Each structure stands twice: as C-alpha cells, then as structure tokens.
Amino acid sequence: MAFGEFDLIDNYFTHRWPQRDDVVLGVGDDGAVLALPQGAELVVATDTMVSGVHFDEQTPARAIAHKVAAVNLSDLAAMGAEPAWLSLALTLPEADQDWLNGFSHGLKEICDYYGCQLIGGDTTKGPLTVTVTAHGFVPAGTALRRDGAKPGDWLFVSGCIGDAGLALAVQQQRTTISDAHYRRVLERLYFPSPRVALGQNLREIASSAIDISDGLVADLKHILKASNVGARVDVDELPLSLAMTESVAADAAIDYALSSGDDYELCFTVPESRRGVFDTVLAHHPAKPICIGRITNEANTLTLLRNDEPWFSQREREGYDHFS
Amino acid sequence: MAFGEFDLIDNYFTHRWPQRDDVVLGVGDDGAVLALPQGAELVVATDTMVSGVHFDEQTPARAIAHKVAAVNLSDLAAMGAEPAWLSLALTLPEADQDWLNGFSHGLKEICDYYGCQLIGGDTTKGPLTVTVTAHGFVPAGTALRRDGAKPGDWLFVSGCIGDAGLALAVQQQRTTISDAHYRRVLERLYFPSPRVALGQNLREIASSAIDISDGLVADLKHILKASNVGARVDVDELPLSLAMTESVAADAAIDYALSSGDDYELCFTVPESRRGVFDTVLAHHPAKPICIGRITNEANTLTLLRNDEPWFSQREREGYDHFS
C-alpha cells in the first residue's frame, strides 16, 4: 500500500474525492479500514488493463481510468451488487503530470457518478498497467451468478452490442465509417456505461447474469457451461445501434454483435415465473433490455437462428482469448 | 474478472486450494461473493511487484508469488488485521507452464500457512506484473494506524532488519559475503515472513504501527508525520542478525538496518500505560520485539544516537522512492 509514499502521485488521489461514511480510514495508511453493512455479502472483482493489449498509445488517460473502473463496476453489475469502494494499482513508466491529471480526473468522474470511493492502492514504476479491484454489496443470498439458468428461461441483453467492436475495427483500419458514427461508437469503446442500476434491479428476478466483455457468444457460453444448459438465439432480435446498421451490412452487424466484446452490456436469463415482476420493474427503469432467445436443455449447445433458419457467423473466433 | 476464461491458467488457480467457510462464491464468476463477520471492520491493502523493478529475471516464480502475497499480508499485519482473502491480477508475457507451476505453488503455500483463500482475479498478457489485493478483519475500532503515536511512547521493531538489503547488495555485486550467510539473507529477501500474529496481538496495545518495506528511517517517518511527533532511536539497540554482524562492519550494519527495506518487520509504538499488558502478551508469543527508542514531542524530527552521541548515516537516501 504505497499511496502516501510519493507526494507527487499522492496529490492526484487523496484530495477532493468523494467520501463515503463507511470508509473509516482511506488512502494513506498500510491498508484501508471499512465499516461493513449488516445482512450483506461483499462482492469483489478485479480487472487489469495493459498498454498495447487493452488500449493503445492514443487512448486518452481519462478514458483509460474510466474504462478500468467501468469494467470492474460492470462485473459488480453482473453480480447485482451496489458498488462501494475501489482500489487502484497503477504502474507507470514515468510520473507525467498531464497524464496523471487526465487519469485522476477520469477516475474521479466515474467514482462520483456511481457513488464509490477510492480507498487505496499502489503506484509503481514500470510498463503502463492498471489494475482495479472493486468492492460492492448484495443482500445476503441474492448475488446474480452464472450457474442458475434453467431450460425455458428467457434470454436478454441490456442494450445495443457490437459498437465497441466496430470502433476498434475502424481504429485498426479494418473498416471505415462516417465521422459522426465513429464518434458515437468510439464513445462506447472508450467510456462504456456499466449497467449498475439494472444489475441491482435484476436481483431475485434473473436466474443468471454475466457482463459482455469478450462478445455475446463467448460470454453466453460461460452461462451455458456453468448452468449446464443450451440456448437458442434469434440473431434478428439482437439490439443494434443506428451507427451500426447505417455503417455496415446486416450480416456484418450481426457478426459484430455476436463476436466483438467491450460493450459491457449485461446478458441475463429470466424464468417465465418472474416475467411479470421483471416487466413491472423495467417499466420504471430507463434501460430496456431486449429478449433475444431462450434457454434450452441441450447442454453447452448454442444455436443461432435467422428467420428460423440456422445461422453461421463468418467470424469463427469467439471472443478474445489472450493466450490463444 | 477473467479467471475461468482461459482454461490454461484456470487450472493453476482453481483446484486444490484451501477453502474458507466465508467464501460463498470464489474463482469463476464475474466477482467473488463473501460472507461478512459481525462486529468487524474490513481491512484492504494492495501491492504491485513489477519485473525489473521489484525483482529480477533470476527470481524464482515461487518467490515472486510468496513475496507479493507476503507484502500484502504484512500491510494487514501492520493494521492488526486477520487475513481472509486474496485477489490476484497477473500480467504475463506468455503462459509458461513451469513458471505458472512455481508461481501457483508459492501462492498456495502462503495461502495455506495464513489460512487465506484466493477468491479471484484477472490474467492478462503483457510485461510481467503481479498485483495482489488482500482482505482481512479487525474487531471494529481496533485497527492499528500510523497516526496514534504520542510523546513518551516506546518504539519497537519486531525483529532483525537490514538482511534483505544486504542480500540485494550481494545480488547487485555491491558487496560479497559468505555463501552460508548469503543463503540466510536471500531467504529473507525472497521469502519474507509477514508478522501477522504479532500484528493481531498488538491491537489495543500499540498506539501506532507500520511495516518496514522501504527502510526503518523512511517508514518510521510516516508514523512521525501522521502522528505529528518525533523519535529518538538508539542505533546500538537495532536488532541485527548474525549473518549481518559477521558479514559487514558495525557502521555498515547499522546503515543496512536503518536504510534498506524489504524485511517486512513491524515498527510500532507502545504507550507506557500499556507496557505491562504488552510484556504479558509477548511472554506467550514467539516474536520478541526490541525496544529501539522513544517518541518525542519534536514534530517530524528523527534523532539517531549511538552511545548517546548523534549518529549520521553514510547513506543519506531514505528508502526507495520509485520516482525520485
């Protein structure tokens, strides 16, 4: 725990940050001390972003900070947890003032927005790598898991998918789209919105949930494997943005929606018996999840249909496996 | 949260690990779900180790795993906390089987020894960097802090210091010592023992505590600054190992003890009014902390004495500042 050792960096992470009542002792000691709510379980998620792997040299520091926090908060959302605290491990090649300004600004913004507090961390010298550990709470026994989907459950995604993948394709010069559309999809790549409120609303409603970080197919398969079930997805139902449908052909759009990650929408299942409660909760919620299919009893089998005919993706790769 | 995505790495961190009753859901979902004890506060610490900065190419993977966990558990010890859970963020250039075997073995050993469980993390591709976030508990209101030292309090260190610094000096060919002594001090550099049991015993006894990661002078100054006090240290009293005293001259030994880090002993203060309780507790404890001086009312002033005369270190640097 090294915040406090280097005054230079200390300044960026200890002053004028949101303060939560449950933080007894925050940044500046060997560890943070945190008061715990009664009747709750703690949910902990950790994600790392590495320069040259998860973002490139052009990515603004503010976006890096936003995204590494958002990715962690998205994990909490997928568990149905209410975010509380973040720890930051920041490895930097040098203490660049502009970069640190942008980074701390981005981190403070997302902490403010979701009401969470930075409680400590470590700053070290080395190749640019950012790890965040996020802490949140669920009422005991209500965490959303990957292993609860049952045959007959309805399958949902929380919003448009594929946009971040399209932005990455443009950035890597694999395709070209209009500037206006690029701005929209780049915003989704750089500043994803974790579905924190929706996740909490799905507690005691959804039978399983995961966030889409590696692509719908890859992440849905985690639910299928953990729950020992299959799924049928109607690819015509996949929610696509205007930026997507106006930029690429229909088949390519479906491909992006199925295979590209980084959108951080939720994928979840709702039993028939909870559909009424689900619709009632959603009526008061800004997010409008889309039903894209149904869970089947064919273990580990994902069937893609278009106009009720089997559909095969042109891109056979399923998500982004760092070591494949 | 990416354990579970890559079967290759998954195997190393999900099987045959110690299981705690309070882990409702461990490795393999978007986040871990953890049951919380009543009446406790949570203590969270985070530390990163970077290849080429905190360890070199020759450092065995088992030692890297041990040390990054030990450094975090040492932070918990300095807060008086009982360790419970670890999260691991592991960035690797490649999925080398031998390395992963050694690393997971080292991590499992220290988790077993201290009764803590790996609850999740992330594996990413990139330059070798390891971040651990450790979670532990203290009875509410009893965490040891840096800011409670008062003039007149006795100043202690928990054991011999300087050995890890001596090992590093040999490794970097700045000095030579006998093979037998080198093996002993290298063990302290590679496999430090966090003072977990002692830290818990110091709750409601010590008025302040810190672990010595950057060197006694550098770390003691954090207590002095946070507590707005000074200290007088009798350098003749510094606990030195036989490996140290038989390898280097007295002045150099004192220098290592004052200025080199990585020993992970505790430095703490005990009020006169708690000395009786402290001695009683220690009578039943294997560790035998040494009194090295006393807290004074001269804010931020550290006075070093040898034979009651002012003593000045030849090495003016105070700890290891990554960005200075």
**Numbered residues of the known binding site of A for ATP:** 121-122, 146, 213
Mean pLDDT for A211-227 is 96
pLDDT in the model for residue B7? 54
Range of the domain at A88: 7-139
Is residue A110 in a domain? Answer: yes
Q: How far is CA B28 from CA A302, B100, B118, B154, B185, in A?
A: 20, 18, 11, 47, 38
Domain identity same for B158 and B130: no
Kindly state the average pLDDT of the residues A289-309: 95
Q: Which distant-in-sequence residues (6+ apart) come within 8 Å of B240 by Cβ? A: B160, B161, B162, B253, B254, B257
Residue A321 has pLDDT above 60, yes or no: no
Q: Which residues of chain B have pLDDT under 70?
A: 1-10, 15-16, 314-324
Whether residue A147 lies inside any domain: the answer is no
User: What is the token pair recorded at B72?
Assistant: 């975090």
* Segment A50-59 mean pLDDT: 92
B269, B158: one domain = yes
Return d(Cα A1, Cα A30) in angstroms, integer. Answer: 5
What is the band of A18 on the pLDDT scale with cuts at 50, 70, 90? confident
Same domain membership, residue A302 and residue A246: yes
Cross-chain residue pair A41–B34, CB shorter than 8 Å: yes
Last residue of a domain, one of A76, A109, A139: A139
Domain annotation covers residue A149: no
Same domain, B171 and B130: no
pLDDT reported for residue B316 = 46
Same structural domain, B203 and B129: no
Residue of A30, A53, A129, A138 to mutate when probing chain B, most B C-beta within 10 A: A30
- Say what the pLDDT of residue A286 is: 81
Burial of A21 (0-12, 13-18, 19+ CB in 10 A): exposed
Structural domains counted in chain A: 2
Question: B290 exposed, middle or buried (CB, 10 Å; 0-12, 13-18, 19+)?
Answer: middle
Do A91 and A220 lie in a common domain? no
Of residues B41, B120, B322, nearest to A35 (C-beta)? B41
Is B85 in CB contact (< 8 Å) with chain A?
Answer: yes
**Is residue B229 one of the residues assigned to a domain?**
yes
- A323 in any annotated domain: no
The predicted pLDDT at position A8 comes to 61
Q: Calculate how close chain A gets to B275, using CA atoms only, in Å.
A: 24
User: At residue A4, does pLDDT exceed 90?
Assistant: no
Residues B34 and B106 both lie in one domain: yes
User: For B72-119, how does the pLDDT look when each residue is reduced to its tens digit (9 = 90+)?
Assistant: 999 999 999 999 999 999 999 988 889 999 999 999 999 999 999 999
At A131-184, the pLDDT tens digits run: 999 999 999 999 999 999 999 999 999 999 999 999 999 999 999 999 999 999
Per the domain annotation, does A316 fall within a domain? Answer: no
What pLDDT is stored for residue A57 in this prediction?
86
B122 contacts A47? CB cut-off 8 A: yes
- Please judge whether A46 and B146 are an interchain contact, meaning their C-beta atoms are less than 8 angstroms apart: no
Kindly identify which residue of chain B lies nearest to residue A134, measuring between CA atoms.
B31
Shared domain check, B205 and B128: no
CATH number at residue B176: 3.90.650.10
User: What CA–CA distance (Å, rounded) separates B282 from A142?
Assistant: 44
Q: Is residue A318 part of a domain?
A: no
Cα–Cα distance for residue pair B1/B282, rounded to 1 Å:
42
List CB contacts of A147: < 8 A, sequence separation 6 or more. A208, A226, A227, B29
Task: Say which residues have a Cβ less than 8 Å from residue B82's Cβ, sequence separation at least 6.
Answer: B76, B136, B137, B138, B196, B200
Q: Quick one: CA torsion of A122, A125, A128, A132, rounded to 10 degrees?
A: -10
What's the pLDDT at A317? 39
Residues contributing to the annotated binding site of A for substrate = 54, 262, 320
* B133 interfacial to chain A (CB closer than 8 Å): yes
Answer whether residue A3 shows pLDDT above 90. Answer: no
Query: Are residues B197 and B84 both part of a single domain?
Result: no
In one-letter notation, the amino acid at residue B139 is: P
Contact B323 A53 (CB under 8 A): no
Percent above pLDDT 90 for chain A = 82
Residues 6+ apart with CB under 8 A from B283: none
- pLDDT, position B317: 39
Domain boundary among B114, B139, B164: B139
The pLDDT value given to residue A13: 82
The angle subtended at Cα A13 by Cα A264 and Cα B78, nearest 5°, is 105
> Which of B99, B115, B139 delimits the end of a domain?
B139
- Do A64 and A199 lie in one domain? The reply is no
Distance CA A78, CA A71 (A): 11
Say which of A29, A134, A209 has its CB closest to residue B145.
Answer: A29
In eight-state DSSP terms, residue B274 is: G
Chain A touched by B135 (CB under 8 Å)? yes
B117 and B230 together in one domain: no
For residue B318, tell me if it sits in a domain: no
Give the number of residues written for chain B: 324
Based on the fold, state whether residues A110 and A195 are members of the same structural domain: no
CATH code, A116 = 3.30.1330.10
